[in-house]
Amino acid sequence: MDFMATSQPTSPPLIPGTTAPQRPQEDGGGEVVLERVPKKVKPPQMHQVVMLNDDYTPMEFVVVVIQEFFSKDRETATQIMLKIHLDGKAVCGVYTRDVAATKVDQVLDAARQAGHPLQCVSEPIE
């Protein structure tokens, strides 16, 4: 009994770290070879979240925000807050673009809800 295929054949699964095979190539000896081309994987562009000083946001609020959203212990958060206070700004963390944008949103939301003018921005590095 003959059976007829009802769907297109699917591609073989990809080996992690490679791209899909190039077009089948005839190797000269009548064989068809599929060459796997190593994938060129670049690390993602990283973004630093920079917090800015102002004259009104309480130091304690900034310390808690840095602890909460940037996963710093209280001592580290206090040092970062003091650097912002003295230098005008400081980096609170480095993340991929979307994570950095989320951190900025979280900080701005918390500041707005508490009625403080605290500002922070995300900027690409390198």
Give the interface with ligand TYC as residue ranges (CB under 6 A).
51-55, 57-59, 62, 81, 84-85, 118
Token reading at 74: 């209280």
40-52 in b/e form (b: 16+ CB < 10 A) is: eeeeeeebbbbbe
C-beta of 21 vs 64, nearer to ligand TYC? 64
Name the minimum Å distance from CB 59 to ligand TYC.
Answer: 5
Name the minimum Å distance from CB 121 to ligand TYC.
Answer: 11
As a whole number of angstroms, the distance between CA 102 and CA 8 comes to: 42
C-beta of 21 vs 82, nearer to ligand TYC? 82
As a whole number of angstroms, the distance between CA 82 and CA 12 comes to: 56
What secondary structure letter does DSSP report for 45? Answer: P
Name the minimum Å distance from CB 102 to ligand TYC.
Answer: 18
C-beta of 44 vs 117, nearer to ligand TYC? 117
